[in-house]
Structure 1
Amino acid sequence: MMGEFTRIEREGRVALVRFDRGDGLNALSAAAMRELTEVARSFEDDLETIAIVITGTARAFSAGADLTDPELASRKEKGLLARRHALRIGPEMCAAWERLEQVTIMAVEGFCIGGGVALAAACDIRVAGRSAFFRLPEVPLGMNMSWHSNPRLVNLMGPARAKLFTILGEKLPAPQALEWGLIEEVAEDGGALDAAMALARRFAALPPVAVRMSKQSIDMAAKALNQAVTYMDRDQFALAATSKDQQEAISAFLEKRKPNFTGE
């Protein structure tokens, strides 16, 4: 099965989803996010697949939101209700992957940034190449980290490390990401997909009903309050996007200078 940005391959009870926009960055445009959402939903009634591996390219999983996407850029020109509705696209993509009963494993080479990290946190297990790194630039750019990601990161890393990772916006190399709990395995460069597939085959060899029930019960134990504490994500993002600090952050980034934040 092939879409504009994705290709699904199958090996017995394992499915492999390749995400590749062909631009070397795999930035998350609105169209790409909708397609990734539909790919996840296509597995909802799939009773044959036990484990799903999702991967990007040898260079990157994703550079995050596509700032050049006209559809995403046009949000600012809309009214509040329309802007708020448009902001559903990212969190719905992550939720679609998180809701799956199959075990989901992400394989990362190169970089995984912003929305790419949000999607990784929505998966069950993450494997990365040794030179890969993760980063959340949202807060330094004057935005909040949304897409219901904060509790997922706390579930994985604990509150202190989640604050360091999310608020400072600094690169987190794969070996440190393993130590901090963001990922579960580091492979040699170029070997993340092979390692993820090997793990998927181990899950696929198990009784499918027991695997699904166990995943669901573990998720409920860890994530029962996640939705309750992040239901205002979109509103916080919409508010932050109106601040002068957010405008200053973007201007400073484009002009390659140090920003001057005032809290306005």
Structure 2
Amino acid sequence: MSYQYLTIDKFDGYAIVSIDRGDGINALSRQLMRELIAAAESFADDLDTTAVILRGTDRVFSAGADLRDPEGNTSSKGKLIERRHALKIGPDLCDTWERMEQITICAIEGFCIGGGSALSLACDWRVAGASAYMRLPEIPLAMNMSWHSIPRLVRAVGPSRAKLYTVLGEKLTAPQALDWGMIDFMTADGGSLDKAIELAVKVAALPPISVRMSKESINMAANALNQATTFMDRDQFMLSSSSSDFPEAVDAFLNKRDPKFDGG
């Protein structure tokens, strides 16, 4: 498959998937999400790659779902079943990356917001530059946090901090994210890719079948109840986005009239 917004570079035992929409924020349009799903699936039969790095540009990982994407406007048009089906793409994206047998390492520079944060949590390890930050604006935007991300978040930081991060919608800086367990390593700005490569090289030097079996066993133990607790999160999104608060909040966000929504 040819990609419009992604490049995939393969090295000895590891690969780098780079996102660049050319918009300065790497907003997750439906086209970009389809490409990211296809990229993850392209490694299914790749027995030579043991680790995969996912990164944005040198300045930003992702601003999350593209609220300006006409193809992604599911709030008012189409039959109910069509709208519900269209909302599968976000959870499918994260689930596909989580299912990969290779160790996945997310390298984060700049901001990592909303769906970008959800995607990073689907990876095995996260590395961030010192000035990077993460944020979930969904609740202030009158949405719920979906994409099957809540169990992954709770697993990473615990229920209390998961509530702080999700409900308040405030920035989580890289030092705080490291302290909470949201990221695994913090580097100097611009150094996240180098650290990710360092980790990928270590993984690539290990017996690949042992790496894959270990990842699968750990994920099975950690994720056993994920489906039971997230199977309705897109239905919850359909409900929350039908409220009168939703269009008003999104309009303020897109037009930057509310200081709570800075940076994303």
1:47 aligns with 47
1:24/1:239 Cα in 2 relative to 1: closer, same or farther (>3 Å)?
Answer: same
| Residues 252 and 258 in structure 1, CA contact (< 8 A), matched pair in contact too | no
Q: What residue is the counterpart of 2:123 in the other structure? A: 123
Cross-structure match for 1:113: 113
Q: Deviating runs (4+, > 4 A) in structure 1?
A: none
Asked if 1 retains the 8 angstrom alpha-carbon contact of 2:104 and 2:124, the reply is yes
* Counterpart secondary structure, 1:141: coil
Q: Deviations over 1:138-168 (max 9, x none)?
A: 0011000000000000010000011000110
Call closer, same or farther: CA 1:43–1:121 in 2, change over 3 Å: same
Tell me which amino acid in the other structure corresponds to 1:159. P
The structural deviation recorded for 1:215 is 0.5
Shift of 1:251: 3.9
Amino acid at match of 1:224: A
Cross-structure match for 2:17: 17
The alignment's TM-score, normalised by the length of structure 1, stands at 0.95
Consecutive unaligned residues of structure 2, counting only runs of 5 or more, are none
Aligned to 1:229: 229
**Partner SS for 2:131:** coil
Residue type of the alignment partner of 1:48? D
Which stretches in structure 1 are left out of the alignment for 5+ residues?
Answer: 260-264
Aligned to 1:262: none
Tell me what 1:4 maps to: 4
Seen in structure 2, the aligned counterparts of structure 1 residues 257 and 19 have a Cα distance that, compared at 3 Å, is closer
Deviates more, 1:70-79 or 1:176-185: 70-79
Task: Assess, with a 3 A threshold, how the Cα gap between structure 1 residues 41 and 60 changes in structure 2: closer, same or farther.
Answer: same
Deviation at 1:76, TM superposition (A): 2.1
Deviations 1:209-251 (A, max 9, x none): 1101111111111111011110001100000010112233224
Alignment match, 1:256: 257
Taking the TM superposition and a 5 Å limit, the aligned residue runs for 1:96-245 are 96-245=96-245
**Would the aligned equivalents of 2:74 and 2:86 in 1 still touch at CA under 8 Å?**
no
How far apart in 2 are the matches of 1:215 and 1:255?
A: 42
Please give the alpha-carbon distance, in whole angstroms, between the structure 1 residues aligned to 2:128 and 2:76: 35
Distance 1:7 1:129 in 2: 21
Identity %: 59
- DSSP 3-state at the match of 2:15: strand
Q: How does 1:25-44 map to 2 (within 5 A)?
A: 25-44=25-44
Q: Deviations over 1:65-111 (max 9, x none)?
A: 11111101255211211100000011101111000010000000000
- Structure 1 residues 173-201: Cα deviation after superposition (integer angstroms, max 9, x where no partner): 00100000100000100100000000011
Give the residue type in structure 2 aligned to 1:182. Answer: M
Report the secondary structure of 2:45's partner residue.
coil
In the TM superposition, residue 258 of structure 1 has moved relative to its aligned partner by 8.5
Residue 25 of structure 1: how far off its partner (Å): 0.7
CA distance, structure 1, for counterparts of residue 183 and residue 48 of structure 2: 27
Cα offset for 1:255? Answer: 6.8
CA separation in 1, counterparts of 2:93 and 2:46? 18
CA distance in 2, matches of 1:168, 1:257: 14
Q: State the match for 1:76 in structure 2.
A: 76
